[in-house]
Amino acid sequence: MFHRKFALTAALAAAGMAAFIAPAPAQAQAAEQFVPLLVYRTGQFAPLGIPWADGKQDYLKLVNARDGGVNGVKLAFEECETAYDAAKGVECYERLKGKGTGASGFDTQSTGITFAVTDKAFADKVPVVTPGYGLSQSVDGTVFQWNFPLLGTYWTAADVMVQDIAKKEKGNLKGKKIALVYHDSPYGKEPIPLLQKRAAADGFELSLFPVTPPGVEQKSTWLQIRQQRPDYVLFWSAGVMTPAGIREAQASGYPREKIYAIWWAGSDHDVKDLGAGAKGYNAITIHNSAAMDKVHEELKKHVYDKGQGTGAAGSVGSLAHTRGMMISMLQVEGIRVAQERFGKGKTLTPEQVRWGMENLDLNADRLKALGFGQIMRPVKTTCANHMGNDWARIVQWNGSKWDMKSDWYQADQKHILPLVQELSAKYAKDKNITPRSCS
């Protein structure tokens, strides 16, 4: 009996030692550009993470199948499961940063992991691509050389929401009550500094309601909302917290038309099961809602019809899936732009890809050619502005699909710019970074 136990343990130990001594098997061959895919297909955010990850992978497969890669350089990719945990995210980052000719860019899919990885990216010289999330102050490219919060941050989102509310209130927000119901984590807390600034400037009253993760129990939050009757609720949630919140809102009688959700809380999977119960629920999005554009047809033709699709065919076209595709598209275009400069048809180092991300210029024609013409607005990054242009609009759930409710907004930089400069200067001071000049 003892020998059996001992033998088993010894075998496990040997396997364990082999695992950490043996180098990871090389998978990216020559002439392949490696794109790491950090995803969460498990855990409390899985409902959001699964379509997002599917979208990211689907677009890369499309580029390989339809175009043969970027100027002949095929895209190699590998998924790594983080379950939204910072330690796992760091492990995935360490494992994948040097693969192939180096990781083209990390879309960490999580504000928490972005924080952990940003510091390391400075030392490892790897781009961190965080469209629509991440460190809001990393817009400042002079300090955050390696971060790219493309298309928008939580500050621009909060600002646009307030703009839309102001429009509904005929421009006068004085004395109105706006509540922020947020996931109690760095992700949920990001918009607070901007909202406080705007509350001071516009005269509305901001009340904060943190929800302990995973946000399954929200009865007290929505009872308090019922008591205080704010005019509008901004909902900063993700994963299972979203449907739980909407259901509690319904059960406590709060009109869903007054709820504005951030883009991660406004996708089909959040409201599909609720159907009419979520009717009127507003969300902000950095791209058109479930508009199907040429890219979706091409995806179907080149990938899904050949049985190569990552997720279920039914999830193509959902907001989160489209967003994933968009994020991959931005990454691929960054690689393409970098190739124009450093050598067409060659594999690139992460530093070179970073240059590409910094010099993105996707105008309307280019977007149309890529098949994203109706989905996105043009975006142009520069050395100092790593976000590009931020366009967002409000969509509303009508019980069975998302309707476009507003025109395109841009965030008012009056409040955002000083905040960005203040916090990025603080970061530079804390980390002893000299901001580079962008001339």
Partner 1 sequence: MFYRENGQYKTSYGADLALFPVVQDRWAMLALALAAFVAIPLLASNYAFHAVLIPFSILAMAAIGLNVLVGYCGQISLGTGAFMAVGAYAAFNLQARIDGMPLLLALLGGGAAATLCGVLFGIPSLRIRGLYLAVATLAAQFFVDWFTNRVAWVTNDSASGSVSVGTLSMFGYALETPAQKYLLCAALLAVAAVLARNLARGAIGREWMAMRDMDVAASVIGIRPVHAKLTAFAVSSFIVGVAGALWGFVHLGSWEPAAFGIDKSLQLLFMIIIGGLGSIAGSFFGAAFIVLLPLLLNHVPHWFGLPLSTATAAHLEHMIFGALIVFFLVVEPHGLARLWATGRQKLRLWPFPH
Partner 2 sequence: MGFFLETVLGGLMVGMLYALVALGFVLIYKASGVFNFAQGAMVLFGALAMARFSEWLPRWFGFDSALVANLAAFVVAVLVMVAVAWLVERLALRRLVNQEGITLLMATLGISYFLDGAGQLLFGSATYKIDIGMPKDPLMVLDGVFPGGLLVNQEDLYAALAAALLVATLTLFFQKTRTGRALRAVADDHQAAQSVGIPLQRIWVIVWAIGGFVALVAGVIWGSKLGVQFSISLVALKAFPVVILGGLTSVPGAIVGGLLIGVGEKLAEIYVGPMVGGGIENWFAYVLALMFLLVRPQGLFGDKIIDRV
List residues binding partner 2 (CB under 8 A). 41-44, 46-47, 50, 184, 208-212, 214-217, 219-220, 223-224, 226-227, 239-240, 243-244, 247, 250-253, 269, 273, 277
Element (H, E) at 295: helix 294-299
Q: Residues 385 to 424: which contact partner 1 by CB under 8 A?
A: 423
Q: Which of 216, 228, 200, 165 is nearest to 208 (CA)?
A: 228
Could you tell me the smallest distance in angstroms from the CB atom of residue 424 to partner 1? 12
What is the pairing mode between strands 393-397 and 402-404? antiparallel
Amino acid at 24: A
Element (H, E) at 340: helix 319-342
Residues 406 and 164 sit within 8 Å (Cβ to Cβ): yes
Element (H, E) at 160: helix 154-168
Q: Binder to partner 1 among 91, 217, 305, 361 (CB under 8 A)?
A: 91
Partner from partner 2, partner 1, none binding residue 209, C-beta < 5-8 Å depending on class:
partner 2
Q: Which stretch binds partner 1 (CB under 8 A): 66-74, 180-188, 327-335, 407-415?
A: 180-188
Partner from partner 1, partner 2, none binding residue 269, C-beta < 5-8 Å depending on class:
partner 2
Q: Tell whether residue 192 is a contact of partner 1 (CB under 8 A).
A: yes
Q: Tell whether residue 95 is a contact of partner 1 (CB under 8 A).
A: yes
Element (H, E) at 291: none
Q: Tell whether residue 112 is a contact of partner 1 (CB under 8 A).
A: yes
Residue found by looking up tokens 């794109």 in the block: 35
Q: Tell whether residue 434 is a contact of partner 1 (CB under 8 A).
A: no
Could you tell me the smallest distance in angstroms from the CB atom of residue 266 to partner 1? 22
Amino acid at 354: R
Q: Which of 138, 10, 17, 75 is nearest to 353 (CA)?
A: 75
Nearer to partner 1 (CB atom), residue 79 or residue 231? 79
Nearer to partner 1 (CB atom), residue 90 or residue 199? 90
Partner from partner 2, partner 1, none binding residue 19, C-beta < 5-8 Å depending on class:
partner 1
Give 3-state DSSP helix, strand, coil % of the chain, rounded to 5: 50, 15, 40
Nearer to partner 1 (CB atom), residue 288 or residue 424? 424
